[in-house]
């Protein structure tokens, strides 16, 4: 469902957006994205009035950032000896790039909520009960898959954890806009998600509890009673 990936030095979405900040590269991306079939280096260069070497450099940079996918085809339609080497072609990838500051995880919340509604509709179980169970399951999965500690894992998912004495305060809510409008639903989901994370990590010395306060996440991690 969700895969916990190792923490990287750079955010790949930020890197992808930075790649598009270069004007020529953005023009090439927009040109390729508008085409109904893959585009060669020569075609892109001719369409935008660029040197082939320049087009190739920027197209490959876009491919390195996973903004474009690369395929190889023989444009002549021939095969076998004498058909020539396949051309390197580019088309827009399916990658979605989203950057929020502070960090937000609305897709994660949306998937949990959608799964809960669908299961509730199919089984007749109360949707909130299903949502809480799904959140615990996901949090447990994230904790079990993680090879790091609780603070690093929460940092990775945008909670901005910080120690205040023996309590871990979460300075950022990754579901902020949803929590503002649907507080009980989203904060309950978040509470169960973090309970699952603690369980998956084997953090028996901490417990998640609701402690709403302006300007931070509604959940605190405190020493277990």
pLDDT at 104: 75
| Span 107-126, average pLDDT | 94
pLDDT top residue among 208 and 84: 208
Q: Do both 82 and 144 map to the same domain?
A: no
Range of the domain at 127: 106-223
Q: Residue 200 corresponds to which tokens in the numbers above?
A: 């998956």
The Cα–Cα gap between 113 and 56 comes to 43
Is there a domain that residue 205 lies in?
yes
Q: Do both 134 and 198 map to the same domain?
A: yes
Q: Do both 139 and 184 map to the same domain?
A: yes
pLDDT at 11: 62
Residues 6+ away with beta carbon under 8 Å from 195: 136, 139, 207, 208
Q: How many domains does the chain have?
A: 2
**Over 80: is that where the pLDDT of 3 sits?**
no
Is there a domain that residue 6 lies in?
no
Q: Do both 157 and 133 map to the same domain?
A: yes
Sheet holding 39-40, edge to edge: 39-40, 87-92, 68-73
| Span 72-100, average pLDDT | 72
3-state SS of 114-136 is HHHHHHHHHHCCCHHHHHHHHHH
**Over 80: is that where the pLDDT of 63 sits?**
yes
Q: Do both 71 and 35 map to the same domain?
A: yes
Domain at 169, CATH number = 3.30.1380
Q: Residue 138 corresponds to which tokens in the numbers above?
A: 């996901």
Q: Give tens-digit pLDDT for 162-210.
A: 999 999 999 999 998 899 999 999 999 999 999 999 999 999 999 999 9
Q: Do both 129 and 180 map to the same domain?
A: yes
């Amino acid at each position: 469902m969700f895969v916990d990936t190792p923490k990287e030095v750079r955010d790949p979405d930020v890197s992808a957006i930075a790649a598009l900040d270069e004007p020529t590269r953005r023009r090439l991306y927009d040109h390729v994205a508008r085409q109904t079939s893959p585009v060669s280096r020569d075609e892109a260069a001719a369409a935008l009035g660029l040197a082939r070497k320049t087009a190739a450099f920027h197209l490959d940079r876009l491919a390195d950032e996973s903004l474009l996918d690369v395929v190889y085809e023989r444009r002549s339609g021939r095969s076998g000896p004498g058909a020539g080497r396949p051309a390197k072609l580019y088309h827009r990838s399916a990658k979605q790039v989203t950057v929020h500051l502070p960090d937000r995880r609305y897709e994660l919340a949306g998937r949990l909520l959608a799964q809960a509604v669908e299961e509730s509709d199919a089984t007749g179980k109360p949707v909130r009960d299903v949502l809480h169970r799904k959140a615990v399951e996901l949090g447990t999965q994230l904790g079990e898959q993680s090879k790091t500690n609780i603070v690093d894992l929460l940092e990775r998912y945008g909670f901005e954890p910080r120690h205040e004495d023996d309590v871990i305060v979460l300075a950022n809510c990754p579901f902020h806009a949803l929590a503002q409008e649907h507080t009980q639903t989203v904060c309950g989901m978040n509470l169960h998600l973090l309970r699952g994370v603690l369980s998956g990590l084997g953090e028996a010395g901490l417990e998640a509890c609701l402690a709403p306060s302006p300007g931070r996440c509604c959940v605190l991690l405190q020493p277990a009673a």
